[in-house]
Chains A and B, each alone.
Chain A
């Protein structure tokens, strides 16, 4: 399969509560690629991730986002998910009373139904899930617990990765999934993401730290500062950021 643009973000402006956070983001992600978006706190990284998933609190004030050539911003959050967009939340939400298994199966079946595939029953689903659980190093006890309720920070992140593995999206956006993980959890997350890499899908890693990029090699590294992508480069850019921090870029952005 030849490379083609999966996601095209053009001059994207977005605000929350009347405050502009994204001030003209341009970004193209092709199939088969892993992009890392780095940047200081408050630069708009999470906003970009949430706008792509359809968070209702953000208003897009200008610009365009094409996903497989279609207007992503015109699609409801569930339509984006069904078409293969997945966001691993920075702060996953807990849901009382609903087991992880039921939640996952509901999500899988919503997507299968959209594709015209037969929905999976509880038993079939459990069989399919077993393998994915092994990948993230979980036993089935996590499936009978309510979604993210009483989960530690690391467990919540692993649960996002489990969803990623189960839903097998075309475009995976990981919003600081690496934050707050110990080294073993980080490796598990990185390995899972790496295993899911295919020529027909793509991953956007939103991260604050260089650490995860030693486990997942990005094709392109972007620096987001002040609501714009101020620099893009190869993986060596990540290393440069690790050494020099972000301040030198912020100055460049101001000058620009």
Chain B
């Protein structure tokens, strides 16, 4: 009796193993495909899927959701890292590279990015990532009918804000500014634009480990911000209300309900503005104003592709992504800015994105999003790091705290956060 029983058990075990293998194969789709983890979701995810559909091999795109860092750390622990990941911050690329998680990557011959960007993705002289998507973060949006004359420089912006605020308080007109202060990155984008203008030379130093967060440049930038933010009536519903306003709601306040005139936002603001546009009037943009007319340095953000160590087919896919024509489907659909200067301006869909792409190619004026380069938790997320500190500063200056006091508090917190994240003096 025994042997048959055992044989049957073995058959069962085999069947179970085969079933599990089939299930695993089913998940990855037969022959092995290259797995890519991305931060995008919804329409951006669909666009990226269209992009990789043009890749000769099979590609599986996984959306890692809001916190791709946590996702990848957990996957690494479990030994199931994807082959390729698109990371939203260059800080993550160097961090992973130093931990030995990444494999060096190659770029195709058609890959060229503005000076200063490529270095952000290298560690110990090796290239560990390539830029695949860029964001233009130095824009102010408004409806043409609400603001006939665009402020040329920072002082003009302050004056215009004061006039509009006084008007709003007297006859209940629209507030001068909408701001999604509930999302910390909105405030860091403001800060970076001002900082790059008041101290273009010191900007990049703040991303380095020995950064001085209590020095003159940071204090000057915060002081300039405080001057504008503390104007009575500057924001829809006041400062406390602005801190509960998310970025997308602030866009609606400008393009739909017209309760505010201007909004500082990146090029992707168009994605929100489109569905909420009322009537034929589309919002237009001008450059974030600086000391000189024409604005200060341009702040850009971006997403970088990396290949994990012992990935299969990862390096090849990353190389393919750097070709000038890989992102054509997304360029045609709109809502995409390429970091690659070999992508012809003509391939952008409309005049606005063509102008933005041109601006990004102007030499020596680019600064990369500072908060995205900061180490560890300092880089910020909801309730954490520089996001939280800038929200505290915003709350202070809109609540009547003296600028000097608010700056003292903010720089103290910034320095402490930098230290505990392993940087700063």
- Does chain A bind chain B? no
Write the residues of chain A forming the contact surface with B, with a CB cutoff of 8 angstroms. none
Chain B interface residues (CB < 8 Å from chain A): none
